[in-house]
Amino acid sequence: MRKMTLDQWEKKYVAGEIRRFDQKYTMFARPQWDDKIKELLRWVTERSPSKPKAGYTLQDQALRIASRTGTQMHLFEADRPNPSAVARDLAKVLTPERMARNIMVSQPPADEKLEVTDPVKLTHDIKNAAIYFGADMVGICELDRRWVYSHSYGLGDGEYNPQEMPKEFQYAIVMGYHEEYEMLRYFPTYIADAETSLGYSKMAITNAYIAKFIKMLGHKAMSCSTNDVAVTIPMAMQVGLGDIGRHGMLIAPRYGAGIRLSKVLTSLLLIPDQPIDFGVTEFCATCKVCAERCPSQAIWHGERTAEPRNESNAPGGLKWPVDAEKCIGQWARQGKPCTICISICPFTKPDTSFHRLVRWFVDNMRWADSFFVKMDKLLGYEKPRDPADFWDRWEPQPSKGPRVKIRKRSAVNSEL
């Protein structure tokens, strides 16, 4: 792995003019206003119920929906340029004066502010706080305003407004949340999606904590999930969490594509990290496993390009543009988000010494990528686990603390 300067990263990733993307055109906003996408999603509500199989039972679906509970927390964030109606109402009730009188949340005086005398130490401490609050990875960059959405589109209420980022928000803390490989291998069922959903719930809580922590230091902080306020993946690349893969998601050196992302924007003076290069671009050029296995053929088989495939692609970044319309059509047919490309990506593996060694070879012997792709297929990593296993994964042991893992019953292939 090598660190890159931002200029080197710019030459690698940016191939055209980056016009600020409009949140209205993200695929999670379009179902609210775009008849074409509404028609695609009609399938979800109108199909007739069939007998549920393992991985799609009511219990499996309940697991997935419960895992997603925390994601709505972002609606309560009041510090964005365009806060939701819920956040505006809450701000009227939870005034600083009322909060100051509440002994459970008694706060430092409003004018108390941490003076930043040692940004290196402060950066180190902020990263430690992020890990303590639940992030698995964290990096810092100066806020690059090209990634800030030109307009916000309320995913809950459809409010649509131009979005200008106040100038005091100069830095971004970008965090990653690991998804457990063994859970992702239950793809494409509700169970695998529970793991992705749980990642979004975890980020809502960690983000709220880190934003509150910074505010208590007397500085500005704005909590943002993956899909709001700004495009996250280029920021995650700039802070050195990983690199973009053919499937359009971030690939992290330890966790592959099994990583969810959030960011907190802040006025706090921090020291930026650097982008990294560990062989993803070359490997994806050879691999194409996700493009071959994508059930809707949404993933680009060709060379990287800065040209969008439809209005949900942000132009300018040199990448393999994913056709989000085809992707969401597949989600509609399955009645849930699809996790196949995340799960079968050869970079998405447990962080064992064996896989660390393979990653080292991928990084340092890039000419041998086609061999590593073949080996990944031969070892059967593309095959899913039997979803019937999930509910037997742990044996509850109340007297011994949490839970003890029991032997896996019918894994499709052994974990290396």
Binding site for ligand SF4 (CB under 6 A): 245-247, 283-284, 287-290, 294-296, 298-299, 322, 327, 330, 338, 340-341, 345-347
| Residue 237 vs 290, nearer CB to ligand SF4 | 290
Closest approach, Cβ 289 to ligand SF4, in A, equals: 4
**110 close to 216: Cβ distance less than 8 angstroms:** no
Closest approach, Cβ 281 to ligand SF4, in A, equals: 9
d(CA 243, CA 413): 28
**190 close to 173: Cβ distance less than 8 angstroms:** no
| Residue 55 vs 83, nearer CB to ligand SF4 | 55
Bond preceding residue 396 cis, omega within 30 of 0: no
Closest approach, Cβ 329 to ligand SF4, in A, equals: 8
| Residue 202 vs 246, nearer CB to ligand SF4 | 246
Closest approach, Cβ 59 to ligand SF4, in A, equals: 23
Q: Is 55 left (phi over 0), alpha (psi -120 to 50) or beta?
A: left
E strand spans, 5-144: 137-142
Q: Of all helices (H) and strands (E), which one includes residue 160?
A: strand 160-162
| Residue 53 vs 301, nearer CB to ligand SF4 | 301
Closest approach, Cβ 372 to ligand SF4, in A, equals: 9
| Residue 126 vs 284, nearer CB to ligand SF4 | 284
Closest approach, Cβ 316 to ligand SF4, in A, equals: 20
Q: Which residue has the tokens 């980020």?
A: 203
d(CA 259, CA 51): 32
**Selection from 410, 388, 389, 406 nearest residue 397 by Cα:** 406
b or e along 179-205 (b: 16 or more beta carbons within 10 Å of the residue's beta carbon)?
bebbbbbbbbbbbbbbbbbbbbbbbbe
Which tokens sit at 26?
């993200």
- 194 φ/ψ angles, rounded to the nearest 5 degrees: -60, -40
| Residue 207 vs 330, nearer CB to ligand SF4 | 330
Closest approach, Cβ 311 to ligand SF4, in A, equals: 17
Closest approach, Cβ 298 to ligand SF4, in A, equals: 4
* HSE-CB for 327 with a 13 A CA cutoff: 24
| Residue 352 vs 370, nearer CB to ligand SF4 | 370
| Residue 141 vs 289, nearer CB to ligand SF4 | 289
Which tokens sit at 140?
């810092």
